[in-house]
Structures are given as C-alpha cells and as structure tokens.
Amino acid sequence: MKVYGTEIASRLLLGTAQYPSPAVLAEAVHSSGTEIITVSLRRETADGSGAGFWESLRETGCRILPNTAGCHSVQEAVTTARMARELFGTPWIKLEVIGHSDTLQPDVFGLVEAARVLSAEGFQVFPYTTDDLVVGEKLLEAGCEVLMPWGAPIGSGQGLRNPDALRAMRAHFPDVPLIVDAGIGRPSDAAQAMELGMDAVLLNTAVAKAGDPAGMASAMALAVEAGRAGYEADPMERRDMAVPSTPVLGLAEFA
C-alpha cells in the first residue's frame, strides 16, 4: 500500500489509547506488526508527563499519525493539526472533525473545509469520514490522497455496519487508498473489511480493551492478512441456490 508516496507493508494501523499500561501498549504494537500508530495531543502538566510517552513512541520505530480527536470545529481541528505537525515533526494528520459527541459521527462539512485548509498548508491529510461517496469526492478535491471511512461508531466494536457502502466506495474510488477507521471489534470484522477490498484497517479499542491485547493485536494482523489475500484471490460469486460440488456425471443409479 502506498500513501502519500510512502510504501507501507503492514495493512494494520493501531491506536495507542486505553491500554492497561505502557508495557502492554508496547507489546501490542510489536505483536500487531504495525508500521503506523496514531497519537493525540492533550494538555501538558508542568511535570512533563508527555515527554515520557513521546520517548516510548519513538522506541516503537513506527510512523506517527497524530489525530485531531475531540475537535468539533474547523478552527479547533486546524489549530490542533498545526500543533501536532510541530510536535511530532510529520505532515501526516488524521483529521477528525466531530459532529456529535454521542455518535462521534464526523461533521463532513467541517471535515472537507479543514482538509482544504490543511492540504493548502502542505499537510498530508488522512480524513476520518463516513462512507458517503460525494463526501469522498469532495475530500479528494480538497487535496486528500487517502480516505478513511468509518465501519461503525468509534469504540463501538460493532463491526461493519454497512458493508455495501464500503463496497461501493471501493468501486467508485478504485485507485484511492481506503482505510476503515473505527468500529472494528473482532478479527472477523477486520478480515471482512479487507475482503471488501479496503487497503487497510485502523483500530484501537478492539485491541486495547481485549483481555489479552498483545494476543488480539496478533489475531488482528492475521485477519487483515487473510482478508487481503482473499480479496486478491478474487472470491467466487455468491449464489442463491445450492450447486453440487461433487460431479453429477457418472453418478450410479441403484433404483
């Protein structure tokens, strides 16, 4: 997979929040085989607690994809993105402009506007969006070279609520990297997304809140790989009725 000119081997992107401890996070990152981890920005305390976390992130060797989580307006998201670029030294930004605090549904109007502003400033924007095709087109026009449709609301673990819409996105944007961001709960959800032809999956809670985060990270990596291999192997068409798989020709007659 290539995003913004960068070749990425692992199709699993991992969030860094909600792990029971920094050690478990590090273990999960390692087991997932991910090359891209998402991070955030929050208010610093005078004791410099953020510095230790930043150091542990660097030790993973992963690329950093900072987010604008929690931003509800274009101005907040743009300011956060500018701060993230300085802090993490990357033009990559996972752009979130949240419309509702209960569903965490993207405000796609604000998203397109913020994407336009940031792309013009040289950011490489990874927009957290819905599966709407027109919004996808507007994001590409705004300068995005990747789209990140939701599978289900953030942190819900519901799996893909609307696989048909993702299939339509794949057909409509054949050459655009598509990353399912949010809603994955189980390895089968991740495999399903990949079988639909998504280029990658971004998840966090499904691993962080599993009983064994490192074990789940590795299960997710296998699922992503299996789903991708299945997509590339071109699955058979679904049929409404049974078709015998054993040849009928040469069948004995005993009556």
Partner 1 sequence: MKIIVNAEPRDVSATDLKTALHELGFVCSAVATALNGTFVARGKREEVQLSEGDRLEVLAPMQGG
Instruction: Summarize as ranges the residues that interact with partner 1 (CB under 8 A).
Output: 15-19, 25, 38-44, 46, 48-51, 53-54, 57, 66-67, 69, 75-76, 79-80, 82-84, 86-88, 154-155, 204-205
* Catalytic residue check, 94: yes
Query: Residue 253: what residue type?
Result: E
Nearer to partner 1, 10 or 40 (CB): 40
Q: Which of 99, 134, 133 is nearest to 114 (CA)?
A: 99
Nearer to partner 1, 121 or 225 (CB): 121
Q: Which of 172, 156, 155 is nearest to 164 (CA)?
A: 172
Helix (H) or strand (E) holding 217: helix 213-232
Nearer to partner 1, 82 or 186 (CB): 82
Min dist. Cβ of residue 44 to partner 1 (A): 4
Catalytic annotation, pick one of 2, 94, 138, 209: 94
Min dist. Cβ of residue 248 to partner 1 (A): 53
Phi, psi for 222 (deg, rounded to 5): -65, -40
Phi, psi for 119 (deg, rounded to 5): -60, -40
Min dist. Cβ of residue 113 to partner 1 (A): 16
Tokens found for residue 77? 């998201």
Residues designated as active site: 94
